[in-house]
Structure 1
């Protein structure tokens, strides 16, 4: 990261970089406890606060999973072709998958295996074969759309399109759009809790908002998003947000990544504990993406005609 650029850009670059590192830190911390129960997490770790790796995927300390890697695919795909990003995002998804990643969500795996030139068709076929496609795999990766484009209309268009590439269910579209509306407003300097409440007002997510969800911390997009909203409203710092996500067990890496993205954006890169920032193994790639997204956003790139 260029120190001169960081000093000149002030809070905007700090927020963008905080968002990407927030995804990665939440992912890396939560990856240790994925698929565990709350009781198992407590018996094994007490209250996990350190990025130590391990877990079901045998992660190295600071290694991230599909949540961060697919977020980078979206970010780098937009950067390569901001006006028509879906083709490049899709190519990067396939290149990432060809590398044999440890962790690939079932819905995304099914789509990637069925892809024959049309992402929407592959997503629809996977939806039919699986009987559902309301997972959290498009929500976990959608943040770069809000970081890249200054226009909210453009943010929402790319958020929806990147979701539809793998997740046919409209609940995934809705979650991605709501999430990135929050991100877009946080980049304007608005207050986190006020933004969360205002964006979900009038939706099903407003029911019980601010109280601990009755659902499990599962990979179902509605359950995931309810937990993310609760953690954002009920935590007073970046560190507490992702630590509480990790100690939920269940789909803890993805809940941590999604909550961490907005928390990192709001509190900023400087507020992410140094031990978390330094632990991330791909921190150089994240920093480069953040700087490039900042420059793209400052340039006002559009997405007219964005497609697959």
Structure 2
């Protein structure tokens, strides 16, 4: 790659990580609210102000970003086989007593006894195919780290199956990261999305506003993510639309923000968003590590 292309790639990787964090921090204010409640209290939320059900500090992120960093850290430690270091980071984060942790993930952590896939299976039996969005929210580092589609798909599925047995969760992670892979290669956002949903259950369901709640169910979440990305004009509109949906707005914002951050690039993210994120030094460090790892795989 030449120098300009190197800079563009780094801008996309950094944009993806910051996109997750910004969508998470902005949407964290409105999580569990209805769209009507948001309008009454905030009008149309555009600024990262914290608060909400978790009483966040302005710029504080939730489980979406923190688990994304766990996946990224595990990949950076052992790119060939990152399950053990990812899992170790999951448990370290869990034992730090975070404010926000999804029910499926919490139960999977409680069920974990040296075998992640068994923990996911037992959790699925306990909850009855919950199909939560907790793996889609954290899977982006697999697309940022690996140049080969086979490696990216393998790690995307693996990190998902560590806590979520439901195949709909694993499939969504692969579709999402295949879109990210196309965006990292310079493809247009609309083309990348429509190409990867063709022949899947999401084909034909994302052009019109979804007829479902913006819930934590993986199918509902992903429909709202893709619809938002297709109908927003820039990065800011993507994360603002997600935040003002309510429901599982932090996770929808994080997932949509990740792809928007790759596509529009870190340079296009307003500093009013990027500068306020409390863990930006950690995001910078991980972005640089993933960038060097990706270059080493070429």
> Quick check: 1:11 aligned with 2:18?
no
Structure 1 unaligned segments of length 5 or more: list them. 1-5, 302-308
- Aligned mates of 2:204, 2:264 — CA distance in 1: 26
Structure 2 unaligned segments of length 5 or more: list them. none
Secondary structure, counterpart of 1:206 in structure 2: coil
Summarize the alignment of residues 16-55 of structure 1 with structure 2, pairs less than 5 Å apart.
16-55=13-52
Indicate if the aligned counterparts of 1:29 and 1:253 stay in contact, CA closer than 8 A.
Answer: yes
In structure 1, the residue matched to 2:125 is 128
TM-superposition CA deviations, 1:5-29 (whole Å, max 9, x none): x978310000000000000000000
- Aligned mates of 2:209, 2:282 — CA distance in 1: 35
Indicate if the aligned counterparts of 1:24 and 1:280 stay in contact, CA closer than 8 A.
Answer: yes
Secondary structure, counterpart of 1:226 in structure 2: helix
Partner of residue 240 from structure 2, selected from 235, 238, 243? 243
Structure 1 residue 89 displacement after superposition = 0.1
Once superposed, which parts of structure 1, at least 4 consecutive aligned residues long, lie more than 2 Å away? 6-9
- Aligned mates of 1:7, 1:88 — CA distance in 2: 33
Partner of residue 161 from structure 2, selected from 157, 160, 164? 164
- Aligned mates of 1:173, 1:40 — CA distance in 2: 33
- Aligned mates of 1:37, 1:262 — CA distance in 2: 25
User: Number of residue pairs matched?
Assistant: 296
In structure 2, the residue matched to 1:306 is none
Structure 1 residue 204 displacement after superposition = 1.2
TM-superposition CA deviations, 1:63-94 (whole Å, max 9, x none): 00000000000001100111110000000000
Partner of residue 109 from structure 1, selected from 101, 106, 109? 106
Partner of residue 200 from structure 2, selected from 177, 199, 203? 203
- Aligned mates of 1:215, 1:295 — CA distance in 2: 40
- Aligned mates of 1:133, 1:174 — CA distance in 2: 15
- Aligned mates of 1:126, 1:242 — CA distance in 2: 31
TM-superposition CA deviations, 1:127-162 (whole Å, max 9, x none): 101112300000000000000011011000000000
> Quick check: 1:61 aligned with 2:55?
no
Summarize the alignment of residues 67-216 of structure 1 with structure 2, pairs less than 5 Å apart.
67-216=64-213
In structure 1, the residue matched to 2:224 is 227
TM-score if structure 2 supplies the norm length? 0.98
Secondary structure, counterpart of 1:204 in structure 2: coil
In structure 2, the residue matched to 1:259 is 256
Indicate if the aligned counterparts of 1:231 and 1:259 stay in contact, CA closer than 8 A.
Answer: yes
Indicate if the aligned counterparts of 1:136 and 1:220 stay in contact, CA closer than 8 A.
Answer: yes
Indicate if the aligned counterparts of 2:54 and 2:100 stay in contact, CA closer than 8 A.
Answer: yes
- Aligned mates of 2:156, 2:98 — CA distance in 1: 24
- Aligned mates of 2:42, 2:262 — CA distance in 1: 28
Secondary structure, counterpart of 1:298 in structure 2: helix
Structure 1 residue 251 displacement after superposition = 0.1
